[in-house]
Amino acid sequence: MRITHGFRPLGTPHAVTIGNFDGLHLGHQAMLARLQDVARARGLPSCVLSFEPHPREFFAPEQAPARLSSLREKAECLQRMGIDRFHVFRFDRAFSTLSPEAFIEHVLGRTLQARYVLVGDDFRYGAKRAGDFVLLEKSGQSLGFDAEFLPTVEVAGERSSSTAVRQALASG
């Protein structure tokens, strides 16, 4: 697995999923399995796009949730799962002010050269989390990528999430 960062174009089209992927719980595993299935079917390398630090750590460090995995542990898990590329953007003031349209154009278009983008059903992006799936899908049509969202994965009737894992750990 290659680990890359920043805005330098990767030079190869990718199938991309986006998220923090903290803990790689069952919901994340379903996302990664779908990403790999589509990547194989389309002959594209799979790419996980993530952020460091976690956006909540950037905006409100005193209220940020405890991490389930470090960046290194996340990379090691992604490699074991067969992901081809792990691309990390530094989440800083400049990155946090990208409009949704700029995020799509500069990150997904120019840098990652996305041909397929998979997100969770609650995915938001861009300054003030203003971007939604409708804009992502519409922009993909003009930039040459397909967008798909994965519905919520539930375990025993509850949403599989990093928050749920933290709560389970806290309650023993």
Annotated domain spans of the chain: 2-170
Which pLDDT belongs to residue 69? 85
Mean pLDDT by 10 residues, the chain (172 residues): 96 95 83 97 98 82 79 95 97 95 97 97 92 97 96 73 64 76
Nearest to 88 by CA among 110, 72, 66, 105: 72
| Residues 6 or more apart in contact with residue 120 via CB below 8 angstroms | 19, 27, 31, 149, 150, 152
DSSP letter (8 states) at residue 67: P
**Could you tell me the two tokens for 13?**
């089209």
Torsion of CA 74, 7, 11, 70, to 10 degrees: -10
- For 12-49, write each residue's pLDDT tens digit: 999 999 998 887 777 888 999 999 999 999 999 999 99
Residue that is written with structure tokens 């609650």 in the block: 122
Would you say domain 2-170 falls under CATH 3.40.50.620?
Answer: yes
**Could you tell me the two tokens for 35?**
């990403």
Contact (CB, 8 A) for 110 and 81: no
Task: Give the helix ranges, DSSP H, for 43-99.
Answer: 55-59, 71-80, 93-96
Which pLDDT belongs to residue 66? 76
Question: In which element (H, E) is residue 169 found?
Answer: helix 162-170
Cα Rg of the chain (Å, integer): 15
